[in-house]
């Protein structure tokens, strides 16, 4: 039985990845930070809460990360833990830098010292492209991060490359474009929109306040994207891969799809609120995942309409029960 350690197991991707690995017969360990409120709700929703070995730890605490690596004796480590909300990274730039940046070194060092055969996946991001330097971004596009989050993630990306090149670790980095699901955190725009559309439809909310709805994102389904993570660690050679759908859509159009699904016109409810604009915006992201498709045999299977429909259906049911 293979052993895996997932940091960030209580997050959206952590839940989908844990389910995928359990289905493949892995023993799954999760590094979980101490919280005062319940953080395992996604694992419960997936029906896998009892199937995971939980290890206490925090990415900011090198000792706890080291202990988790030693205890789990992992064949594969997936580093998904992060302060992942871009907007919050301007409010907490230092925490974001420590967790999303230095935290990666804590994990890589623990692997290098105690478990050098372990294969490592780093959750890198299209936010590293930021102010885009090419119309469609791939593994060769220069980076230009636009937020403390993007900057911290760029450190995490390069330290992963550096440990691969310095010590020969099997360390790969997935440069994933936005991916969503019914388990997406409510602060991210797709979930904020589907939750609001469900509430407005059911008379529990009157309007939806948003920021820059002309921003464009390349949105895919989280369930598809965790397969790419796993595939990267099954290759003989570690490498970096862009994972994206190759289609970019405005937040405005995403709103139209969501509201239309419940028979509403978003223009009647969406209000633009300067409070949700960012100090520096990533206006457009559009990925080219040709390498992942060619080498990994991966491809996106869920289009945006289907994804939004899935999220709307889940939110309509959840809001009705409240
Ligand atoms: P998410 O839902 O925000 O999950 C983040 C996870 O990190 C949670 O389990 C959280 O624990 C954990 N965490 C936060 N701070 C921690 C700390 N100091 N120590 C230990 N754990 C900590 O994020 P996601 O959407 O699943 O994304 C997974 C990873 O992929 C992240 O690294 C993100 O930056 C990256 N990424 C995401 C996307 C995307 O579109 N989703 C795209 C590219 C890259 P709590 O639940 O206890 O807070
Ligand atoms: N969250 C949010 N809330 N975003 C809004 C709003 C709003 O009210 N109004 C407009 N937007 C715009 C943002 O300005 C941004 O351009 C876009 O919607 C998407 O915002 P988010 O859903 O918060 O995601 P993100 O693109 O900033 O970051 C996500 O994707 C990255 C990959 O590109 C996160 O999952 C990151 O962790 C991930 O790395």
The per-residue pLDDT for range 184-210, each reduced to its tens digit, is: 999 999 999 999 999 999 999 999 999
Determine contact, residues 288/246, Cβ cutoff 8 Å.
yes
User: What spacing in Å lies between the alpha carbon of 215 and ligand 2's midpoint?
Assistant: 9
Q: From the CB of 125, is ligand 2 less than 6 Å away?
A: yes
Q: Are 262 and 320 in contact (CB under 8 A)?
A: no
> Nearest ligand to the C-alpha of residue 54?
1
With cut-offs at 50, 70 and 90, classify the pLDDT of residue 301. very high
Please check whether residue 222 is in contact with residue 13, taking contact to mean a CB–CB distance below 8 angstroms: yes
Residue nearest to atom 39 of ligand 2 (CA): 125
- 134-151 pLDDT, tens per residue? 999 999 999 999 999 999
Checking DSSP bridges between strand 27-32 and strand 3-7, what pairing results, if any?
parallel
Q: Is 59 in the pocket of ligand 1 (CB under 6 A)?
A: yes
Give the tens place of pLDDT for each residue, 219-238. 999 999 999 999 999 999 99
Q: Which whole number is the average pLDDT over 272-292?
A: 98
- The pTM of this model reads 0.98
* Closest C-alpha residue for ligand 2 atom 13: 212
Per-residue model confidence as pLDDT tens digits over 169-185: 999 999 999 999 999 99
Rounded Cα–Cα distance for residues 202 and 117 (Å): 53
Task: Assess contact for 214 and 269: CB atoms under 8 A.
Answer: no
Distance from the CA of 268 to the center of ligand 1, in angstroms? 33
pLDDT 10s digits, 69-89: 999 999 999 999 999 999 999
Q: Using a 6 Å cutoff on CB, does residue 146 contact ligand 2?
A: no
Residue 171 contacts residue 122 (beta carbons within 8 Å): yes
Domains of the chain: 3-179+221-243 (3.40.50.720), 185-218+247-285+302-320 (3.90.25.10)
Rounded distance from Cα 189 to ligand 2 centre (Å): 6
In the annotation, is 125 catalytic?
A: yes
d(CA 34, CA 227): 28
Residue in 149, 225, 241, 266 annotated catalytic: 149
Q: Which ligand is nearest to the CA of 127?
A: 2
Choose, from 125, 141, 194, 248, the residue flagged as catalytic: 125
Residue 95 CB–ligand 2 contact under 6 Å: no
Residue 2 falls in which region: left (phi positive, over 0), alpha (psi -120 to 50) or beta = beta
Strand partners, 284: 216
What proportions of the chain, in percent to the nearest 5, are helix, strand and coil? 45, 15, 35
In the predicted model, what is the mean pLDDT of residues 288-300?
98
13 lines ligand 1 (CB under 6 A): yes
127 is catalytic: yes
Give the ligand whose atoms come closest to the C-alpha of residue 5: 1
**Span from the CA of 215 to the centroid of ligand 1 (angstroms):** 22
Compute the distance from residue 86 Cα to the ligand 2 centre, in Å.
Answer: 7
Closest to 27 (Cα-Cα) out of 68, 81, 80, 76 = 76
What are the tens digits of pLDDT across the range 23-67? 999 999 999 999 999 999 999 999 999 999 999 999 999 999 999
Percent of the chain clearing pLDDT 90 (strictly above): 100
């Amino acid at each position: 039985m293979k052993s895996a350690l997932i940091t960030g197991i209580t997050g959206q991707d952590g839940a989908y990845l844990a389910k995928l690995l359990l289905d493949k017969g892995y023993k799954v360990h999760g590094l979980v930070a101490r919280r005062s409120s319940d953080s395992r709700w996604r694992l419960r929703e997936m029906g896998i809460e009892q199937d995971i070995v939980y290890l206490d730890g925090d990415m900011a605490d090198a000792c706890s990360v080291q202990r988790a690596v030693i205890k789990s004796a992992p064949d594969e480590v997936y580093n998904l833990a992060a302060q992942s909300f871009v907007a919050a990274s301007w409010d907490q730039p230092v925490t974001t830098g420590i967790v999303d940046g230095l935290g990666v070194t804590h994990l890589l060092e623990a692997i290098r010292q105690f478990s050098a055969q372990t294969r490592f996946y780093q959750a890198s991001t299209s936010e590293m492209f930021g102010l885009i330097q090419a119309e469609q971004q791939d593994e060769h596009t220069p980076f230009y991060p636009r937020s403390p989050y993007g900057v911290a993630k760029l450190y995490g990306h390069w330290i992963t490359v550096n440990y691969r090149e310095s010590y020969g670790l099997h360390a790969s980095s997935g440069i994933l474009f936005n991916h969503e699901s019914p388990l997406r955190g409510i602060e991210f725009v797709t979930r904020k929109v589907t939750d609001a559309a469900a509430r407005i439809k059911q008379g529990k909310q009157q309007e939806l306040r948003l920021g820059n709805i002309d921003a464009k994102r390349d949105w895919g389904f989280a369930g598809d994207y965790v397969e790419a993570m796993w595939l990267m660690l099954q290759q003989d050679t570690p490498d970096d891969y862009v994972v994206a759908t190759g289609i970019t859509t405005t937040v405005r159009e995403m709103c139209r799809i969501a509201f239309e699904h419940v028979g509403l016109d978003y223009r009647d409810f969406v209000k633009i609120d300067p409070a949700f604009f960012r100090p520096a915006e990533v206006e457009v992201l559009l990925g080219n995942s040709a390498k992942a498709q060619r080498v990994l045999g991966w491809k996106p299977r869920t289009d945006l309409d289907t994804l939004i429909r899935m999220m709307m259906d889940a939110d309509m049911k959840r809001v009705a029960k409240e």
